[in-house]
């Protein structure tokens, strides 16, 4: 798989006045967004802000009501996920679409051209998974894998399409801290190759850690853009909700009271 060279100037992907209506409700309302080559771009917002609707339009799952999507400066129509992949856009959804009874290689093969042999899929999946620090056994059955390993399948499946832009929807919500650190190393490698990442997350500390820029949505509209490294979690949260977010503190003095439950010399047969 060849690396994608980073370039300055025009965005890799841009949307202009992108709108999606469900009846009279505007899930996305005249959104403008630019994603540069070789950047990790955060998409922030509360639940219901329009993030998922936006990325589904970019990946061809939903059709825009109005507005324009530009890929490398040219207007494009993305009628299906297959069209998005051919364009160079990959996506890893928050909820995985895997068959537990099938192996890793068989699950990956389902999204590829029917002409590719399963042995070739297994070989390439193993190579890519180790290259990007996401090791997988192509012969393992999905039912036997952890949630983190299942996410690796989705990421490797996307990488096999050689994308220039990868969309990740809440990728760390199912990961342990150690697995998240490994994912961040993978994203740094993708960025170094000149690939771009659109990164959706509610975890503001990790957005500050790995993202170059952030666009904030609220009620279906863009309400701000920033360099998250120059912000604080509190200021990012304020952009997301439109007001100050009260800090959470423990109630009471945390002093010990009377014993509520006591046990002595308990045993149970093996």
- What does the pLDDT profile of the chain (270 residues) look like in tens digits? 434 434 457 899 999 999 999 999 999 999 999 999 999 999 999 988 999 999 999 999 999 999 999 999 999 999 999 999 999 999 998 788 899 999 999 999 987 777 788 999 999 999 999 999 889 999 999 999 998 899 899 999 999 889 999 999 988 888 888 889 999 999 999 999 999 999 999 899 999 999 999 999 999 999 989 999 998 888 888 888 876 655 555 665 667 788 899 999 999 988
Cα–Cα distance measured from residue 102 to residue 156, given in angstroms and rounded to the nearest whole number: 16
| pLDDT of amino acid 249 | 59
User: pTM of the full predicted structure?
Assistant: 0.82
| pLDDT of amino acid 74 | 95
For the chain, list the domains and their CATH numbers: 39-61+79-241 (3.40.50.300)
Bridging pattern class, strands 74-76 and 66-71: antiparallel
Q: Which two tokens stand for residue 106?
A: 């068989």
- A 10 A CB-CB count for 53 gives 21
Residue that is written with structure tokens 């841009």 in the block: 14
Residue that is written with structure tokens 């370039």 in the block: 7
| pLDDT of amino acid 3 | 41
Helix (H, G, I), strand (E, B) or coil at 6: coil
Cα–Cα distance measured from residue 70 to residue 249, given in angstroms and rounded to the nearest whole number: 46
CB 69 within 8 A of CB 84: no
The residue among 180, 84, 194, 65 whose CA lies nearest residue 134 is 180
CB 39 within 8 A of CB 230: no
């Amino acid at each position: 798989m060849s690396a994608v060279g980073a370039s300055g100037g025009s965005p890799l992907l841009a949307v202009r006045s992108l709108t999606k209506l469900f009846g009279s409700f505007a899930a996305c309302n005249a959104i403008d967004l630019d994603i540069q080559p070789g950047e990790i771009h955060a998409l922030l917002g509360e639940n219901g802000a329009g993030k998922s609707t936006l990325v589904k339009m970019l990946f061809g799952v939903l059709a825009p009501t109005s507005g324009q999507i530009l890929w490398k400066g040219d207007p494009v129509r993305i009628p299906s996920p297959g069209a998005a992949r051919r364009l160079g856009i990959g996506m890893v959804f928050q909820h995985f679409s895997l068959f537990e009874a099938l192996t890793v290689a068989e699950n990956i093969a389902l999204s590829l051209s029917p002409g590719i042999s399963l042995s070739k899929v297994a070989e390439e999946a193993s190579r890519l998974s180790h290259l990007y620090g996401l090791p997988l056994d192509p012969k393992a059955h999905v039912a036997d894998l952890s949630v983190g390993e299942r996410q690796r399948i989705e990421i490797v499946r996307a990488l096999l399409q050689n994308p220039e832009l990868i969309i990740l929807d809440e990728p760390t919500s199912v990961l342990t801290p150690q697995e998240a650190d490994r994912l961040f190393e993978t994203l740094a490698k993708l960025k170094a190759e000149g690939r771009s990442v659109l990164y959706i997350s509610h975890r503001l500390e990790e957005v500050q850690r790995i993202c170059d820029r952030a666009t904030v949505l609220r009620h279906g509209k863009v309400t701000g853009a920033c360099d998250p490294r120059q912000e604080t979690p509190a200021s990012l949260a304020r952009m997301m909700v439109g007001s100050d977010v009260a800090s959470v503190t423990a109630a009471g003095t945390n002093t010990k009271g009377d014993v509520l439950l006591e046990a002595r010399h308990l045993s149970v047969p093996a």
